Each structure stands twice: as C-alpha cells, then as structure tokens.
Amino acid sequence: MKQVTVIAPAKLNLTLDVTGVLPGGYHALDMIMQTITLHERVVLRKSQGLSLRLPGSRVPPNDKNTAIKAALAFFHYTGLLAGVDMEVHKVTPVRAGMAGGSADAAAVLVGLNALYDARLSTSELCALGAQIGADVPFAIFGGTCRVQGLGDMLKPLPPCPDCWFTVVMPSVGVSTPAAFAAYDQMGSPVHPSAADAEKAIREEDLLGLCAACGNALEECSGAKETGRIKKLLTECGALASLMTGSGSAVFGVFDTEEKAKNAALTLKKEYKQVYLTRPDRGGARVLRHLPKKHGAAE
C-alpha cells in the first residue's frame, strides 16, 4: 500500500457544560459530542520526508498544524524511519468549534496506522491523539459519545436519534482560549445536563434530546451573531438551536430533511458558509471508495 485516503468528520456539541478546573488550569467538561456528515479528506502517500499541502485553504501548512503534529507523534511512537506526504482538503470552517483541525490529526493517525500496517489499537491512537488536542480522541472514535474531563474520557452511546443539522458559520470566528477566559470571568446561566441528553439518546427521543441541548460557553463566547442565527433557525422549525464548542458556528436540529433544507436556503441569503448535514456513526476512517459529497447548501 503506497497511498490511503481518510475521511475526517467534523463534530457538533449537542451539550457542553464546564464542571470544574483540572490540575494545570484546564477546564473539566461534560459534553455530548456528535460527528456529522461534513467530511474533510486527507490523502497520505509514503515518503522518506514529511510534507503537507492544503489545496485552496488559507490554513498555513507549518509545524503548528495538527496534521504535522500527528505525523511526528506517530513516527516517534512507532519508531518507524519513514515519512509521509499529506494532502488535506479542508471543508470545515476555521475557528468554528467543529474540530476541523482535530479531525485532520485523527485522520493522519488512523491513515498512517493503515499505510504502514503499524497495528496500533484504537486506545493507542487515542492516547497519541490526546497529546495533540483535546478533541482528537473523539475525532478518532466518532459517532455519538459522552465526553468528560479534558476530552479524554469517552463513553460511546447508541446512535443519535434520526435528524438533520443545518450549520451556519458567522462572519467571525472565536478563539477557544478567549472563550474560556471569558467564562472564568463571567460564568454562565446555562448548564445543560449531559445525563438528560444521554437518557434521551438511549430512549431514541429526539424531542427530549433537543430539550436537553445547551452550551455553557455560548453566553460568553463574544460571538455577536449567535442570537440572530439561533432566532432564524428556530423560525425555520429547528427543535433546538445552539452554538457548538467554543464557537462560533451555530446549528439547528431538524426532524425532517425538508425543514433543514429550507433553513439552509434561508440562512444562505445572509451567510456564506451554511452546511446541511446528518449524524455520522463513525470517526476518522480509511476510504474504500470515494464518498458522496455532503456539505454546503446550494
């Protein structure tokens, strides 16, 4: 095998609560996380060197990129005297709270494991991923999970009740450190129950899940367009609307494809980046065939 192609699903936070502070000053979280059918594509080719290309993206291909960090971590851990040429086709908005960079890192780890037949377990890949970013272990595992701690405690859940998501990226992104710093100063009136959301998922209760949705970082994110986007999504029939992660993307949950499509078309009149997606049951995975395209509303 000289080349592999890996898909890297973006994620949404159906719930996000801050439950405390961990040693080192990191925030302890309790979340329900969901991968979605908005996929980046990562192509890996065997090489003696290490290179990264991001066609059409403004993201810089330097040593701070999560794909580079993931490749270096993999080769250091396995001891393989080898390299890889990486090509990442970006589709996930940047600074959106959708784990685009983490998904790329997950894809590199999963892809290199297959490309070099390293036979690392999922636990080993997740441990490597945790060194790169808090969302990387989930991006490897994917599907529907309750995620706690720093992002390293994963509890797989049954699939999310059948639904559609319309995701809207505002004109300005949000800095994750800035969002948490603001939370430390302001706190939040919103503390969603991941336990209630988990119960609804296990009971296949979409209305119950939507009632439990919420994000403790939403009020302090500084994203000025959040309220308007939520209002528009709700007017289009969303059962729940909220910000994902530390922001700034906002999404609505819909019970039918028609409602979600209509919402996407409505929001597209004001916002350039609008995506129509569904829950994905997996994380980063090697492709056996080319996928159908999902994503931006027409």
- As annotated, the active-site residues are 11, 135
Which position has the token pair 């945790």?
130
Buried b (16+ CB within 10 A) or exposed e, 244-278: bbbbbbbbbbbbeeebbbebbebbbeebebbbbbb
Please report how many Cα atoms fall inside a 13 Å half-sphere around the Cα of residue 253, on the Cβ side.
Answer: 26
Decide if 42 contacts 67 (C-beta within 8 A): yes
CA-to-CA separations, 260 to 205, 236, 240, 270, in angstroms, rounded: 19, 8, 12, 16
| Distance, CA of 142 to CA of 239 (rounded, Å) | 23
Neighbours of 64 (CB within 10 A): 10
Write down how long the chain is. 298
CA-to-CA separations, 144 to 110, 165, 197, 275, in angstroms, rounded: 19, 14, 11, 19
> DSSP for 161-218?
PS-EEEEEE-SS---HHHHHHHHHHH--S----HHHHHHHHHTT-HHHHHHH-EETTT
Decide if 215 contacts 244 (C-beta within 8 A): yes
In 3D space, the residue among 25, 35, 23, 11 whose CA is nearest the CA of residue 183 turns out to be 25
